[in-house]
Every structure is written in structure tokens, then in C-alpha cells.
Amino acid sequence: MIYKIHRIPVYAPKYIGEKDILIGGGEILAIEESIDTVLPEEGLVEEIDGSGLLAAPGIIDSHLHPTGGGGEGGFSSRTPELQLSDFTTAGVTTLVGTLGTDGNTRDLRNLLAKVKALKEDGLSAYCYTGSYHLPLKGLCPSLSDDIIFIEEVIGAGEIALADHRSGQPDYRQLLELAAACRLGGMLSGKAGTVNIHMGDGKQGLSLLRQIAEQSEVPRTQFSPTHMGRNPQLFREATQWALEGGYVDFTTCTREAFIREGEVRASRALRLLLDAGVALDRISFSSDAGGSLPSFDQEGKICGMEVGDCSSLLDELRRAVRDEGISLEKALCPLTASVAKRLELNRKGVIAGGVDADIMLLDRESLELRTLFARGEIMIRSGEILRRSPFEKQER
């Protein structure tokens, strides 16, 4: 099927005016002021009316737990697997899965199979090798082999730092891991990102700073997330980003965490832009499928919730409405900036020749109406058209 979206304002994410977009074979075939489609067979091109809508790139969620996460409160607190519509109803067309805290009862083979399943379902999906802990347990004999030989593996993570749940790696262990990721990435044409889970601990970014300052591994090898977790970490994040490092903010949170001082992703974007941080250093991810545990003073668990992907568009709307950030800028941490960081060259933008991953949002409410993933319609006018084979139909 070929689709033509007729007369729609396009945020690529930069605003490029009102256009026609022609989609076929999974790609954006053309994007012009006006496209005349003259095809021999009637019904070969489906026209989609763009009135009341705007087009933006599909979201790239670079940190979430598709097979579930959690488990910090015992076996029954392991969170459930995510399904296709958990992503598509949130505008996510590309995702990067990670194991998280639990690399014991969960494993990479299961994560990789889930990622492959989501690809079969029509999304673009990747994963990080390893879990919270070092020494890293990968799939191949070496970490760099995982990145080089497994198509879906684009880096390592999430490696936990400054957290009581971390494996407490030292400078040498983390440096060797980053070097292996760098080598694996270079040899396979991938980013080789080291995805870092930042906890609340007093260690903060000190290990990462030490590597950036004392070794040959550049700070851009790292992608630390949960950077708004507390005011002190946010201050460190600002400095890290001003010096050229990437900073990622988690959109799933709880109001109680915000009251305790967590900096919301949309607020973080406003503060970082005001501080002079380049937009392409900043990204948002959902942490969907992960647990949101609360710990008391003694580190005992006292509450748990599960994150979901819908928080990504919530934060986009907050950035525009509450923080006064233009839509074209507010989209970047969800699209173009993530694609650049992860070296996903066909993602994160609307342009001729790239993958047709496109959200059609209501112009006023910025609610998702229609979603294309690799040129196929996943959501049409709010209706879910595709589900995973065993997904429940209740949504």
C-alpha cells in the first residue's frame, strides 16, 4: 500500500511548512508542497487528510524494559512484559530494550527474542547487552562481539552507578567496558553506547568524569539516564552536558518523587536550554516496564509502581504548555537528538528516503491520532490496527 498524507504541517522536527507526504515500501518516498499521484490502478494510493493534524517523527524510546523489570520487592514484584500497543499508542516507533536490576531471573536471550518479536510486529527495536551489574554477562564470548555480531545490540547497559542495587564497579572495570563498547561500535558501524543507570548515591557522576578526564574514551560514549532524579544529580548533569556529554531524563515518575525534588524531564529541558546546553545533548526516555520503587531510610522497599510509555507524550505536552518551549525544540529529545546519539541514521526525522515512522498529532491537544511505523499504519484515528498475536484486546 502507498499512502499520501495530504496538506499537513510538518515538524521534521524542525518546522518545514505544510506539505504532502508520500509513503511506500516502508520509506518516505517524497515530501513536497503538493504531490500528484498518477498511478494506473484505482485504490493503490490511500489518501489521508491532514486537516486538524500535524506530522512529527515517531518517538525513539532509548531506555525501557520490554520483557518487564523490577523484582526488587521479591519474585511477585517482577513487572510484566510490554505488548505492541503499549508502544504504538504512545507514539513509539523505535525502542531500545534493557534488562535492568535483574540479570539473574531474566536473561538476554529472552530480551533479544522479545526485540525480534517487536520487529516482526512492525516496530524498529534494539537492545543493550548486560544488565545493572559488572562483570557483564553477554551473549557472545566478549562484549564487543555482542555489538559486532548481533544486529539488534547497539551498546551495553543499563549499568548501574551510584546505587545500592549496583554491582559497584570501579574505575578500571567501567573504563574497560566503555573501551569494549567503543571498539565494538566502531567495527560494526554502531554507536556502541554505554547506557548508565544513575542512582541517588553520593558517588554521582564522579566515575564518568574520571574516565572523561583521565582516559582516551570520550564522554560521548556514555549515555547516563535518570539524570533528573535529585537536585544534586541534576546540577552535575547540567555541568556534564555543558562540557559536551549526553544527558537523558526519565519521563515515568511519581508525583511523590517530584515533591521530593526530582526534576521533571520537561522542566529539565527548559533549565538546560536556559543554561546554554546544546539541544542535541538532551534526550528523554520512558523507562517503561521498569519498576518505580520507593525505599525508606534503611533501603527497605516501601512502595512500587510500573512505568509506561505514555509519559513521553505527556512530557512533550508539558514542555510546550508549561515550559513555553517551541514544538520543534520539544520534539528533539524524543526524536532527532536520540537518533543522532544512537547513530540511527534513518530515524528521528521526516525527510525523503528515511524510514516512514510518523506520528500524526492533533494540532491543538497534541494527542496521538495516527501512527506509521516503517510505512505501515499501527494506529488510525485513535483505533489500534495491529496487536501482538497474544495481546489482550481490552485496550
Binding residues (CB under 5 A) for Zn ion: these are 197
Shorter beta-carbon distance to Zn ion: residue 197 or 281: 197
3-class DSSP state of 11: strand
- Other Cβ atoms less than 10 A from the Cβ of 234: the count is 20
Alpha helices in 69-156 (DSSP H): 84-88, 108-120, 143-149
Whole-angstrom distance, CA of residue 132 vs CA of residue 206: 18
SS3 at position 97: strand
Determine the 3-state secondary structure of 390 from DSSP: coil
Please give the Cα distance from 235 to 237 (Å, whole number): 5
Q: Which residues are catalytic?
A: 287
Question: How many angstroms separate the CA atoms of 181 and 206, rounded?
Answer: 20
Nearest residue by C-beta to Zn ion? Answer: 197
Question: Please, are residues 381 and 49 in contact by the beta-carbon 8 Å criterion?
Answer: no
Write the single-letter amino acid at 383.
E
Which secondary-structure segment (H or E) carries 358? strand 358-362
Q: What share of the chain is helix, strand, coil (3-state, %, to 5)?
A: 30, 30, 40
**DSSP secondary structure letters along 289-317:** TSEEEEE-TTS-EEEEEE--TTHHHHHHH
